[in-house]
Structure 1
Amino acid sequence: MIRLLRELQARLRAAGLPEGEALDLLAKASRLSRKDLLLRLAQPPPPGTAERALALLEKRLTGYPLQYLLGEVEFFGLPLKVAEGVLIPRPETEGLVELSLSLPLPERPRLLDVGTGTGAIALALKKHLPEAQVWATDTDPKALALARENASRLGLEVTFLQAPLTGGVKDLDLIVSNPPYLPEAYRTQAPQELAFESPQALYAGREGLDVARPLAEEAAEALRPGGFLLLELAPENVGLLAEELKASGWADVEVLRDLLGRDRYLRARRPPQELEGKKGPFRGP
């Protein structure tokens, strides 16, 4: 199999793609785990492996995402099934989970993941906060079916709702979301792989805030006093929304950076006591 692996590596390298993907493609084609594949590289490939591997390679060379070819991605230590048209969980979003877990939440928190996609955030939070009551919303029935399948496979209990934004869930301690946040102008220069994902999960108007803004407005009513809003956004627009939330009365508004040092996350808190005379959603009586 080593000869086949080298052929895959060479063709990926020639196309400007990471040659490390060759091992993933060969493992998928040979129906072996990566560990077993490495142990058997000196052996002849199982019947049909070469044909399957080359077919996978040809599709990958068209820009088709590797994660869709493999059918699975690891997110925060959880194996999640992925499918074309549903947003692929990104490493940056693992940072959103880490930030969520660092918050001073109550012992049995009520959490909501908005725009759940594969269920990645909701399932990771439920895994690490087993006493939490977790909801997740999405408007895409295909995404919800996939999220429910992932929850079932992992044995994690999350309530999934086909609904926009907060879905009417109230009295929450945390609303977390990786909403669509790319400005529409980015569509013409986006990497080829993005063409295979749902545009509704990627793009959000001229500034990239057409979902995050109304979500923040609903969150002002859905959170308990002192509850947290935590969003993943683009470096180009996260600061803009942060300033808007400060002006509308949110407390402890902060922009946080991802592992590459880019402004990426927005953390804000509903004031423990709403302030009289404040503009925005936290007006006094």
Structure 2
Amino acid sequence: MIRLLRALQGRLKEAGLPEGEALDLLALATGLSRKDLLLKLPEPPPPGAEERAWALLERRLSRYPLQYLLGEVEFFGLPLKVEEGVLIPRPETEGLVALALTLPLPPRPRILDVGTGTGAIALALKRHLPGAEVFATEVDEKALALARENARRLGLLVHFRKAPLTGGLTGLDLLVANPPYLPEAYREEAPPELRYENPLALYAGGEGLAVAWPLALEAERALRPGGFLLLELAPENVGKLAEALRERGWRVEVLRDLAGRDRYLRARRPPQEAEG
């Protein structure tokens, strides 16, 4: 098994992929957990494991996403099922959840996650804010079915709706979203792995704001006075949306991710505004 692990690591390194993925592929091929393999590599490999490991490696070398091969990712401590064609939850979005948990929300807030995908944001917020009434909208049927399955598996109550943007919801204390935000031109230079995800969850017009801007406008009606809008955007366009919202009277901050890049927009609807 040590020989096999090193061989897998070597092939991944040659392809410019993380060597650490070898252990994930080996875990999938053997049916053992990554933790078990770290503790002790079985010798010899279980029957058929070597053949399965090489087949998985070839799939990965074709730049098929590791997360889809594994069928599951961990997001903010939650094991989420993932499938080809549905956006893979990423570490940057964990930062969005962490920011949401620092907001001065009421004891039983009404929260909406727009474009929920696997349900990652909505489910993480429900887990950490059990008193919250959490809604999630999504237009893609496959993603919506996957989000509902993840909610069932985790035993978390989230109200899922097939609807665009806010779906007409009002009286919200927090509207949070990781909308598609990549400029259309980025398709030409995007990593090959992205072609397996839904492009509607990735790309949003020339500036990457074709979804975020209409969503921000709907937020003016959906949020209560003093409610929060929290978005993950690209470093190239988050400042543009922030400035547009300031001009409309919002109190806006642009916050950085762990890599030091402008990533998150935190905006508060002016509390003096009348609802409606």
Shorter-chain TM-score bucket reads over 0.9
C-alpha displacement at 1:236, in angstroms? 0.4
What is the match of residue 165 of structure 2?
165
CA deviation vs aligned residue, 1:27-76 (integer Å, no higher than 9, x gap): 01101111222344142111111111111100100111110110010000
CA deviation vs aligned residue, 1:142-170 (integer Å, no higher than 9, x gap): 00111011111111000111100001111
CA deviation vs aligned residue, 1:113-154 (integer Å, no higher than 9, x gap): 000000000000000000000000110000011101111111
2:42 aligned with 1:50: no
Query: Equivalent residue of 2:5, what SS?
Result: helix
Query: Equivalent residue of 1:54, what SS?
Result: helix
Q: Matches of 1:29 and 1:42 in 2, distance apart?
A: 13
What is the match of residue 180 of structure 2?
180
Consecutive unaligned residues of structure 1, counting only runs of 5 or more, are 276-281
Q: Which runs of 4+ in 1 moved over 3 A?
A: none
What is the match of residue 125 of structure 1?
125
CA deviation vs aligned residue, 1:74-105 (integer Å, no higher than 9, x gap): 00010100000100001000000010000000
Kindly report the root-mean-square deviation, in angstroms, between the aligned alpha carbons of the 2 structures: 1.2
C-alpha displacement at 1:253, in angstroms? 0.5
What is the match of residue 86 of structure 1?
86
Q: Matches of 2:29 and 2:153 in 1, distance apart?
A: 23
Query: Equivalent residue of 2:254, what SS?
Result: strand
C-alpha displacement at 1:214, in angstroms? 0.5
Q: Matches of 2:127 and 2:78 in 1, distance apart?
A: 9
CA deviation vs aligned residue, 1:11-34 (integer Å, no higher than 9, x gap): 101111111000000001101111
C-alpha displacement at 1:241, in angstroms? 0.3
How many residues were matched structurally? Answer: 276
Q: Matches of 2:248 and 2:77 in 1, distance apart?
A: 37
Q: Matches of 2:58 and 2:175 in 1, distance apart?
A: 41
Q: Matches of 1:7 and 1:145 in 2, distance apart?
A: 38
Query: Equivalent residue of 2:174, what SS?
Result: strand
Q: Which amino acid in the other structure matches residue 252 of structure 2?
A: V
Question: Once the two structures are aligned, what percentage of the paired residues are identical?
Answer: 78
What is the match of residue 265 of structure 1?
264
CA deviation vs aligned residue, 1:229-259 (integer Å, no higher than 9, x gap): 0000000000000000011121x20100000
Q: Matches of 1:37 and 1:241 in 2, distance apart?
A: 46
C-alpha displacement at 1:2, in angstroms? 1.3
Consecutive unaligned residues of structure 2, counting only runs of 5 or more, are none
Query: Equivalent residue of 1:125, what SS?
Result: helix
Q: Which amino acid in the other structure matches residue 94 of structure 2?
A: E
What is the match of residue 274 of structure 1?
273
Q: Which amino acid in the other structure matches residue 45 of structure 1?
A: P
Counterpart mapping for 1:1-285 below 5 A: 1-250=1-250, 252-274=251-273
Q: Which amino acid in the other structure matches residue 221 of structure 1?
A: R
Q: Matches of 2:188 and 2:89 in 1, distance apart?
A: 22
Q: Which amino acid in the other structure matches residue 216 of structure 2?
A: A
Query: Equivalent residue of 1:9, what SS?
Result: helix
Q: Matches of 2:184 and 2:263 in 1, distance apart?
A: 18
Q: Matches of 2:68 and 2:151 in 1, distance apart?
A: 19
Q: Matches of 1:189 and 1:175 in 2, distance apart?
A: 31
Give the TM-score normalised by the residue count of structure 1: 0.95
Q: Matches of 1:80 and 1:14 in 2, distance apart?
A: 30
Query: Equivalent residue of 1:194, what SS?
Result: helix
Q: Matches of 1:107 and 1:85 in 2, distance apart?
A: 36
Q: Matches of 1:35 and 1:217 in 2, distance apart?
A: 46
